[in-house]
Amino acid sequence: MGGKRVVTPLLRRILDWDVKTTNNVLAAIIKKTGPMRKYSTTLSAVEMSGNGIVWLASCVVIVFMSSDLYTRHLVVNLLIALIADLIVVAVVKATTRRRRPAPLTGDPFAIQKIDQFSFPSGHATRATMVCTLFAIQYDLSMLLEVPLYTWFMSVVASRLLLRRHYILDIVSGIMIGWLTALMLVITGAWISVDSANYLVAYLLDETYTGASYDV
């Protein structure tokens, strides 16, 4: 059951390079900006904005609170995407079982007790997946694109600045999030307005009057 993992010499060199590079990059940033403690409130807020539980809970609340067909359509599809993301990340983390970096000194938000595995970064997969899905499914204006991609870059950067992940965890998370979004679109998992609202109506025992099969 759970025998010791065999790390090949090549993989060990890659992991050692990743640890060294991550430490050097973070040290260079801290040398220019000062300790990350100074930015803990901002970084923690950014981290929370990419939290999977927060996203899931928010989507569920919006489904219950909103009666707008297109809002429900978006949120139902986000729920499907978020669940897919959580499954993919959980499987990869359980397979690789890479330990997280040591937390920053005095970090009150260290999450090792909740999720001790580092590869890939779930925040990076989630932020990438959401941005990719919005870019594919919607013709966004610059007014929406700028804050969306700013949020994405902030979430990704926070993983390094808070020392939650190594660089390869973050880069791999971006790649996995992008591939997950593409697979959701290609496989038709992004469902139509009618299908999404019919699903909500069925689960909430409502009458959906927007579809032809309503009586």
Distance CA 121, CA 116 (A): 11
Distance CA 77, CA 179 (A): 16
For the chain, the structural domain boundaries read 9-50+80-101+110-192
Distance CA 31, CA 25 (A): 10
pLDDT at 185: 92
pLDDT at 146: 93
pLDDT at 209: 53
Distance CA 69, CA 134 (A): 17
Cis before 120? omega within 30:
yes
Q: What residues of the chain score a pLDDT lower than 50?
A: 1, 112-113, 211-215
Active site residues: 123, 165
**How crowded is residue 108: how many other Cβ atoms within 10 Å of its Cβ?**
9
**pLDDT tens-digit series, residues 84-125:** 999 999 999 999 888 888 776 555 555 544 578 899 999 999
Per-residue HEC secondary structure of the chain comes to CCCCCCCCHHHHHHHHHHHHHHHHHHHHHHHHHCCHHHHHHHHHHHHHHCCHHHHHHHHHHHHHHCCCHHHHHHHHHHHHHHHHHHHHHHHHHHHHCCECCCCCCCCCCCCCCCCCECCCCHHHHHHHHHHHHHHHHCCCCHHHHHHHHHHHHHHHHHHHHCCCCCHHHHHHHHHHHHHHHHHHHHCCCCCCHHHHHHHHHHHCCCCCCCCCCCC
Distance CA 169, CA 98 (A): 9
